[in-house]
């Protein structure tokens, strides 16, 4: 059976009043993906939507041993963050993919393209703006024929 992969794209800055809504919707989206046979989950590990998604998947792994969590890290220096949540979630990962050894202006784009190419489903936490990484990733995923599910904020 072929492995089914699901990734997240979303904004780093989520208004605090929207956080409970976003977390609840991401929990629902992950549970639906698991029910639909998805076992590999990719997160870009940026602040905001990516880390919420990673935390939800890490939690789900305790009930579903078949689940895999992958961190798609844009450049190696990102691993030197002092953010304790990032380090805790990295320990829950089954794979860490580093897209660029050194920071380049395109490393986030490369990370987003990698995740869309690896996944059959893309969950987007999206505020409607028609520019930026989330918008681009959604457009790219649609061009690849991926199932794009939007959580509006």
Record the pTM.
Answer: 0.96
> What are the boundaries of each domain within the chain?
5-152
Residue 50 has what pLDDT?
Answer: 97
Q: pLDDT tens per residue, the chain (153 residues)?
A: 578 999 999 999 999 999 999 999 999 999 999 999 999 999 999 999 999 999 999 999 999 999 999 999 999 999 999 999 999 999 999 999 999 999 999 999 999 999 999 999 999 999 999 999 999 999 999 999 999 999 999
| CA dist 97 → 42, 44, 49, 86, 148 (Å) | 10, 10, 19, 15, 22
DSSP 53-87: HHHHHHHHHTT-TT-EEEEEEEEGGGGG---HHHH
- Candidates 19, 22, 64; CA nearest to 41 is 64
- The pLDDT value recorded for residue 69 is 98
Does CATH number 2.60.40.2380 belong to domain 5-152? no
For residue 61, the model assigns a pLDDT of 97
Please report the pLDDT score of residue 2 as a whole number: 72
Structure tokens at 16: 């605090």
């Amino acid at each position: 059976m072929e492995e089914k992969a699901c990734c997240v794209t979303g904004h780093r800055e989520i208004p605090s009043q929207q956080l409970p809504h976003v977390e609840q919707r991401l929990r629902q989206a992950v549970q639906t993906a698991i029910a639909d046979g998805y076992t590999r989950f990719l997160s870009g590990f940026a602040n905001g939507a990516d880390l919420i998604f990673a935390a939800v998947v890490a939690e789900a792994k305790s009930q579903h041993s078949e689940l895999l969590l992958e961190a798609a890290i844009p450049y190696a220096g990102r691993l030197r963050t002092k953010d304790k949540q990032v380090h805790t979630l990295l320990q829950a990962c089954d794979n860490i993919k580093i897209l660029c050894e050194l920071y380049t202006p395109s490393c986030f784009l490369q990370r987003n393209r990698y995740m869309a190419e690896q996944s059959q489903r893309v969950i987007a936490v999206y505020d409607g703006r028609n520019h930026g990484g989330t918008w681009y990733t959604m457009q790219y995923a649609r061009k690849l024929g991926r199932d794009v599910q939007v959580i509006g904020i």
